[in-house]
Amino acid sequence: MSIEKLSAMKKMKIACVVGARPNFMKIAPILEAMKKYPQLQPILVHTGQHYDYEMSGVFFMETREKVRRYLYHNVGNMLTASRPAFDLKTNHWHVPVLCKTDRGIFVVGEFQLDEDLNFVFIPTKEEMLAVLEAQLEHTLTLVTDKPDEVRMKGLTPGTI
């Protein structure tokens, strides 16, 4: 594909699939070269083949744990960190923040960390609370003392 055609097109997502240690070394220069083209959005996919905690799992666990500790010490125990994702364009980790309520589990914010796990963006308590309130406002809740009646209408009660 020519540079002109590439410049004219919308962002193209390119899945770069790796599974074994040698593949990580081979894909690194390709991912680096793709950074020159804003039209490309590389996505690194780890197949889990030859998965080694020391090689790759440790990055996910350390990232999630750092956010989880921050939330626990600065916000409270109602929130926790979800699974991190690494953005190859910005070289930032994105870690969603989850809040478990009696009406469901909601994503209420997102932390960003750089490659060295330094915080780049931290949502405030007020921002996360505003998101939660907005989501709860739009979440339907059915409270009944007659579960058999609910089942007869074809609804399935759920538990959180």
- Tell me which of 5-9, 26-30, 93-97, 104-108 is least confident: 5-9
Quote the number of domains for the chain.
2
40 domain residue, yes or no: yes
Rounded CA-CA distance 143/126 in Å is 29
Same domain for 33 and 89, yes or no, is: no
Same domain for 46 and 64, yes or no, is: no
Written as six digits, the tokens of 157 are 């009660």
C-alpha closest to that of 30 among 20, 44, 19:
44
Domain that holds residue 101: 60-139
pLDDT at 110: 95
159 domain residue, yes or no: no
C-alpha angle 56-77-120 in degrees, rounded to nearest 5: 50
Same domain for 64 and 20, yes or no, is: no
Same domain for 33 and 66, yes or no, is: no
Higher local confidence (pLDDT), 145 or 122 = 122
Mean pLDDT estimate for the chain? 80
Amino acid (one-letter) located at 22: P
pLDDT at 120: 94
Higher local confidence (pLDDT), 95 or 38 = 95
